[in-house]
Chains A and B, each alone.
Chain A
Amino acid sequence: MSIRTSRRAMLSQLGGGLGTLALSTMLLDASASRSLASDRTKSRRLDPLRPFAARQPDFAPKAKSVIFLFMVGGPSQIDTYDYKPELQKLDGQPVPDSIRKALDASAHSNVFHGCDNKLLGSPYRWQRYGEQGIWVSELFPHTAKHVDDLCFIHSMQAESNNHAPASYQLHTGDIRLGKASLGSWVTYGLGTENEDLPGYVVLFDAGPLGGSGNYTNGFLPPAFQPTRLRDQGAPVLDLLPPDKFAKSQRDSIDLIQQLNMMHRDAHEGATELDARIATYELAYRMQSAAVEVGDFADEPEYIRSQYALDDQEARTQSFGRKCLLARRLVERGVRFVQLYDMPDKDGWDAHSKLTKNHNPRARWTDRPVAGLLADLKQRGLLESTLVIWASEFGRTPMMQGDQGRQHNAAGFTIWMAGGGVRPGMRIGATDEIGLMAIERPIQFRDLHATILTALGLSYEDLFFEVKWSTRETYWRCWKC
């Protein structure tokens, strides 16, 4: 009996196809905008078959979407945004005793491991930019023009000095593999504004160190895994059916979904199946939406140029396409776009020959990032889009190998811009050689809490309730 009832319920929800879904989406959006929830103790009630339905935030949000620019491998803070005149003076000298002692007494003493006790001054020219005269090195001349819109945090710290664990921590809050990533939490908490596109998108060529464990959904339902989109050609391969199947496609999906629902009724708590069912519907809707978002034909020449699509280097173009795609995605209501700068296996990991590593990487990303900021601003999207530029750690002022720098989890710089961020803010500071955060050290978890707050999510209340199917036992897993 119960099987039949729920199957009918399913048919009314899914069998009606696109029309029914679109209607219910519209209804929900209308009711969602009516009032903001103030009940902070409620658990997030999900419709497992519509996991991306927009949900009310806990309080008025400042940002609707996030574009997370992940510079994989650890760009050097002391060669980009954290100007240290003292370091330039001490070039070639050992690390001053007081700083060495402070580092040794901290949890980050291993940062010294593998370095020479010899400081390497920044080989770059520095210049003041913006109303406040903020120092930026010559690596980022284009982004530097936007410093007045950026909020710098100079005192980030990570708990591991190795790529994968630190990278996991930046994504999930934990250096161990297996926790849910920020993008999964955000889409779990808020759903997305456009159910025709995935709510959580990742864009990369070679992916971050540590692999997909970085953008995993962890223990959250599998529906909150990200979707990887390509920045060239169709964003998803094999999205469109061959012509001869196109006509019968909806019937096929309906039949598959019916069978899925029968199986679902007999297997309570089969969240993978829920994800599969939702994915079928999403893929169906994406057939028009994703092709549209990935087609840059309607972008005028000056916009393409802003994102450096006319650059002579293929890698600049590639990163530019990702930034442009990110803008097009948030413009269409996608909640969280995670973008990786990792065109090859090394990333910003300049263990030797700093300039040889950093110069091209800065060149490949500077114009596109500046273009993204300018474009978001001119469209009024920067107010509702939180842009974050970060890496898993920075680099040491000490030299390693031949003019290189070791990883540095003790103190490094990130910046944020847009929704919910006060422009021109500078938070925290490293010591006079840029080695360790000495003023307001900030952990990734704090950063996550800030991002969630900007999105209108109360980080203390963001939890996922696990129900064991055999028992009435609930277990709450928190984000922060």
Chain B
Amino acid sequence: MHVQTNSICCARWIAWVASWIACAFVLSSAHAEQQDALAQRAVMLLKTRCVSCHGAEKAESGLRLDSAEHFAKGGDRGKLVEESSSQSLLIRSIRGDDEELQMPPKQPLTPDEVKLLEDWVKIGSPWPSDSHGSSLEVQDNDSVGNAWVDPNNPIRKLFGEERLGLWSLRPISRPAVPSVKHDGWALNALDHFVLSAWEENSTDLPLAPDASERSLAIRLAFDLTGLPPELDDIGNLTSKEQGAYDRYVDRLLSSPDYGVRWARMWLDVVRYSDSNGFDWDEFRPQAWRFRDYVVDAWNSDLPFDQFTLEQLAGDELVDGPPADEAEQQRWVATGYLRAGPQDNSSALFDEQDRSRAQLLADLTETTGSAFLGLTLSCCRCHDHKTDPLSHADHYRLRAFFAPVEYADDVPLDLPSRRAEIEKHNAAIDEEIAQVEMEMASILASAKERLKSSEKNSDENASEGSESKDPSDDAVKKSFTEEEAKRTLRSSRRKAS
């Protein structure tokens, strides 16, 4: 009995101590990490605010703050940090206790920054443990290598190596085509992969027979153009004429419907919309240009690198307003930067900063998912939970888009075509003016009737939907009149 009790007690005691040790270990390592983080921030602050005067170049007052050794040595006025930390020279000068000593002299540190250095001095002003932070001498080769090779890469520091195998970051490889038992069924490499998986897994299911020409024609047509095949096309395929299949595929690929169908996929990826996609959801009168650009890109087989470049920075490829159609297309391609949802009403409430931040975040996230195979939405607020992306990465990429400004009055039409367009539009404008006059007279008589009927009825009994948002109306009015004209024009232009 005794022995048993003791052994149980003993086991419990060991478990308790073990858990305590584990706990203490975690605590102390967390403590060390905290101190190291504090040291990194403190030394980074010295680097950004002090080293320009107290570095290798100037070393004013004989003081250098660009390495642990120099820091410990101090300058002409003596050591920076004495035993009694609150009275140390460093702290006294950054606090400005003595006006003559105030450092930095022109733009003192903020209270938070002072507090940071005070805390750092309190723990003995250690320098960061890794070799990277111990010397602050700026070198040309100070840049960080990629995370696969450089242990100092911030991503590598944050997550180690475990997240670097993300599918979208792996190099593209060409796997060996698997060999198969059923000879003759597989016509191409892809078939080999399908067949080998089938042979491994589902031996009790028979292989499906080849599709009929009719099914094939339907599948091809829907896949490539999104439209059903013509009866003739089915007939041609079923006639089993030599080369009929290849000719049909070629014809579908060269049909303009092919671009329309496949542009939709890309337009979905980049969040294209004909309207602003927020609240009032105003129509975007020029958006069709970008839509057509993507359709044309598909139909003209535009190389993907050029397609990418033009959408991200097409305006930078062109000097001044576009002079020819190629340049015009590059401007239009930047419609990509404006595809996301836009809160146009924010200015009415002086909240442009909010909607701008949302817009840039959206653009950053779209760029990540469309071009990089990375989802940058999570790291807008915190380090990514599973992918090798830090909180800072979202904002690093976002910085590229910070200069993007939106404009509606950009001269997109080529000078050579303007006269022609104006002439074409003049006739339509005249037509519109006439219709508008008719509308105005109808509205005027309706308003008259409304007024007389309102006089007869109790004010409260009228439906409440007449409440007006003046600013709302102003925006909508300017939108409807101006844009309706333009829309009409462009639709007429397309129709003519």
Contacts and interface: CB of A to CB of B under 8 A. Distances in A.
The answer to whether A and B belong to the same complex is yes
B385 A352 contact: no
Contact of B354 (A175, A345, A358, A400): A175
A113 B464 contact: no
B304 interface: no
A162 B349 contact: yes
Interface string B454-493: 0000011111111111111000000000000000000000
B351 interface: yes
B350 interface: yes
B361 to A, nearest CB: 9
Given A359-B460, A475-B385, A113 B349 contact: yes
A353 B467 contact: yes
Contact of B350 (A110, A353, A357, A468): A110
Contacts of A40: none
B464 A352 contact: no
B369 to A, nearest CB: 14
A473 B345 CA distance: 40
Contact of A114 (B459, B460, B466, B471): B471
B351 A160 contact: yes
A165 B470 contact: no
B20 interface: no
A352 B465 contact: no
A407 B469 CA distance: 11
B468 A404 contact: yes
B13 interface: no
Contact of A473 (B279, B385, B461): B385
A89 to B, nearest CB: 26
Interface string B372-388: 00000000000001100
Interface string A157-173: 00011111100000000
Contacts of A162: 279, 343, 345-346, 348-349, 351
B351 A349 contact: no
A352 B350 contact: no
Nearest to A164: B279
Nearest to A351: B469
A140 B464 CA distance: 16
A220 interface: no
B16 interface: no
Nearest to B467: A357
A471 B337 CA distance: 34
Nearest to B461: A360
Interface in A90-134: 110, 113-114
Nearest to B460: A359
A306 to B, nearest CB: 23
Given A162-B348, A209-B279, A351-B472, A357 B464 contact: yes
B278 interface: yes
Contacts of B466: 353, 356-357
A252 to B, nearest CB: 25
Contacts of B67: none
Nearest to A359: B460
Contacts of B464: 344, 346, 356-361
B196 interface: no
A296 B462 CA distance: 30
B358 interface: yes
Contacts of B351: 110, 160-162, 165
Contacts of A345: 465
Given A164-B279, A356-B459, A351 B468 contact: yes
A401 interface: yes
Chain B interface size range: 20 to 34
B148 to A, nearest CB: 20
Given A113-B350, A356-B462, A401 B470 contact: yes
Contact of B279 (A176, A210, A346): A210
Interface string B320-357: 00000000000000000000000101101111001000
A113 B471 CA distance: 11
Contact of A346 (B354, B385, B462, B467): B467
A119 B74 CA distance: 64
A74 to B, nearest CB: 11
Interface in A283-328: none
Nearest to A353: B467
B462 to A, nearest CB: 7
Interface in A431-480: 468, 471, 473, 475
- Prevailing SS type, chain A contact patch: loop
B318 to A, nearest CB: 34
Contacts of B350: 110, 113, 161
A330 interface: no
A164 B278 contact: yes
Residue of B345, B350, B385, B469 contacting most chain A CB atoms (<10 Å): B469
A351 B349 contact: no
A319 to B, nearest CB: 13
B467 A350 contact: yes
Contacts of B354: 160, 165, 175
A176 B355 CA distance: 10
B163 to A, nearest CB: 10
Nearest to A361: B464
B373 to A, nearest CB: 15
A349 B459 CA distance: 18
Interface string B184-209: 00000000000000000000000000
B26 to A, nearest CB: 19
A161 B358 CA distance: 16
Give the one of B459, B463, B464, B469 with max A CB within 10 A: B464
A160 B351 CA distance: 8
B398 to A, nearest CB: 15
B341 to A, nearest CB: 8
B277 to A, nearest CB: 10
B471 A351 contact: yes
Contacts of B278: 164
Nearest to A176: B358
Contacts of A161: 349-351
A357 B351 CA distance: 25
B273 to A, nearest CB: 14
A193 B408 CA distance: 54
A114 B349 contact: yes
Nearest to B458: A359
Give the interface centre of A165, A176, A358, A475 by most chain B CB atoms within 10 Å: A165
Nearest to B341: A177
Contact of A407 (B346, B349, B463, B465): B349
A346 B349 contact: no
A346 B471 contact: no
A352 B348 contact: no
Contacts of B358: 176
Interface in B130-157: none
Interface in A207-247: 209-210
B291 to A, nearest CB: 23
Nearest to A362: B464
Nearest to B281: A211
Contacts of B345: 162-163
A163 B349 CA distance: 10
Interface in A319-377: 344-346, 349-353, 355-361, 363
Given A163-B279, A164-B278, A468-B386, A352 B468 contact: yes
Contacts of A358: 464
Contacts of A357: 464, 466-467
For the complex of A and B, 9 pairs with smallest distance between CB atoms? A357-B467, A360-B464, A110-B350, A351-B469, A113-B350, A161-B349, A401-B470, A344-B465, A475-B385
29 contacts: A110-B350, A114-B348, A114-B349, A160-B349, A161-B349, A162-B351, A163-B279, A164-B278, A209-B279, A344-B463, A344-B464, A345-B465, A346-B467, A351-B467, A352-B467, A352-B469, A356-B467, A357-B464, A358-B464, A360-B460, A360-B461, A400-B470, A401-B468, A401-B470, A404-B470, A468-B386, A473-B386, A475-B385, A475-B386
Given A351-B470, A404-B468, 7 more contacts: A110-B349, A160-B354, A176-B358, A210-B279, A344-B464, A352-B467, A359-B460
